[in-house]
Chains A and B, each alone.
Chain A
Amino acid sequence: MNNLVTVSHLTKKYGHKTALSDLSLTLNRGRIIGLLGPNGCGKSTLIKCMNGLLVPNKGEILIEGSKPGIETKKKISYLPERSYCQSNMQVRELLSYFSDFYENFLLEKARAMLADLDIDEKSSLKSLSKGTKEKVQLILVMARDVSLYILDEPIAGVDPAARDYILKTILTDYSENASILMSTHLISDIEAILDDVIFMKEGQILLSTDTESIRAEHGKSVDAYFREVFAC
């Protein structure tokens, strides 16, 4: 129960292709964790298995002791790589949707964040730019009070200033018992806020460590070390 997440011997195949291969992993509480790896290494598959959207062929995932299901959906706030929001909905409709759907959704917090980023609640999603849409969805996800936030490529389309705001929001708001797992390719932008990193390669864990030991042992930023490890 001490670990927030325990993944043991997870294997997931898509037909003949193996996406995750006997992967084991633990995530601790109170950490901000970067899930890093080249395209197609299995990051999103792992994330989808944690959220119960994919069923693994072998192995097990426990989130605070429970297998992915109704219970764990209350504990995980998930930002998928693709939007699931209907584009004709207005931001305020989404807010009430989330309030109805999740008992741990903090409406006032979401409103304050939208106001900080000058996003009008009356605008419909389709009228917003790609980056602003991403901001709205990230706000909805971060405004829930949960144990684990899983963000799949959260800041890719967002401008640098808003990216800073979002990272600061993540830093101020997350509680000490919660963890954030985020997959990203924008390592240099986020590495100062990461406690730990997980490098994935071909469906397996290549490395799971804290960011300061990479800097201390290799004299390199996590970004530079990643480029070295995964040099093509």
Chain B
Amino acid sequence: MSWNLDSDRPIYSQIMEQLKIRIISGFYAPGSKLPSVRELAMEASVNPNTMQKAFSELENTGLIVTMRTSGRFVTEDISMIQNVRTELANEQIQIFLTHMKELGFSIQDILHLLKNKENSGGELYE
């Protein structure tokens, strides 16, 4: 997985988003140890202070847990990870719905289109 950062939005919040995706996708498994701030800062070519800030914000949400001596870990709380996953899915749906509305589709139309898509051979995940 590579880092994809724009410079027109705060970088720490983009890093948070991408760390969340890494966690819910299982790239960082529940309970696993995370790389150090410095390693990740290097990998993403960002300032270590920025990476540190993204980490502390994620610690506040509970998704990342710090063990004093042994480093940072992904939470073992699978239901919390599931919640974040649902939350992100809802955000994506909201974005999708907004765009479809702009194109003039009602919810009914959209459901219909999705149904057709599914019937035409399960290309939903193409």
Chain A residues in contact with chain B, CB under 8 A? Answer: 30-32, 164, 167-168, 171-172, 188, 191-195, 211-212, 215-216, 219-224
Contact = CB atoms under 8 A, between A and B. Distances in A.
Interface stretch (B44-52, B61-69, B116-124): B44-52
Contacts of A193: 45-47
Contact of A220 (B8, B47, B50): B8
B93 interface: no
B46 to A, nearest CB: 5
Given A171-B42, A172-B38, A32 B47 contact: yes
16 contacts: A32-B47, A164-B45, A167-B45, A171-B42, A171-B45, A172-B38, A192-B5, A192-B45, A192-B50, A193-B47, A195-B47, A195-B49, A215-B7, A215-B11, A216-B10, A223-B7
B47 A215 contact: no
Nearest to B9: A215
A202 B9 CA distance: 29
Size category, B interface: 10 to 19
A27 to B, nearest CB: 15
B73 interface: no
Contacts of A172: 38, 42
A171 B48 contact: yes
B10 to A, nearest CB: 5
B13 to A, nearest CB: 8
Contact of A212 (B10, B42, B45, B48): B10
A193 B9 CA distance: 14
Given A171-B47, A171-B48, A212-B50, A188 B7 contact: yes
A171 B9 contact: no
Contacts of B42: 168, 171-172
